[in-house]
Amino acid sequence: MTWAEKLLWQQLRNRKLEGLKFRRQQPQGSYILDFYCAEKRLVVELDGGQHDDPEKRDYDLKRTAYLNGEGLEVLRFWNSQMRENLPWVLESIRRRAGVSTDEGPETPHPNPLPQGERG
């Protein structure tokens, strides 16, 4: 696991996040999901800088389309978001899972733009 995956896993494992059961490195078709909550059909992916490459972005879009077609919702975060704002990442996961009580800002788009393309 990457440092970001280890950090997030510490927050998700053993039902620490609102009692939700997450699995890591969950197979789905020909893909391996970083984290998966079967109850909510929610996939959480952490992306490093290599995902900013045009070929990797195209691959990620196809992968997400496949997973959406399987009825799964995909949430993507940059590793830098894990480092800079872990509470926001966790609240975003809570909101997508429908267990948030926070009235804060909306969660990010499930497929955020690469860092250089944000508005």
| pLDDT tens readout for residues 52-96 | 567 778 888 999 999 999 999 999 998 989 999 999 999 999 999
Instruction: Name the residue ranges covered by the structural domains of the chain.
Output: 3-32+49-114
Q: 48: burial class by Cβ within 10 Å (0-12, 13-18, 19+)?
A: middle
Cα separation, 75 vs 45, whole angstroms: 6
Cβ atoms of 45 and 7 within 8 Å: the answer is: no
User: What does the block give as tokens for 50?
Assistant: 């290599």
Q: What is the pLDDT of residues 28-62, one digit of tens each?
A: 999 999 999 999 999 999 987 565 567 778 888 99
3-state secondary structure of 27: strand
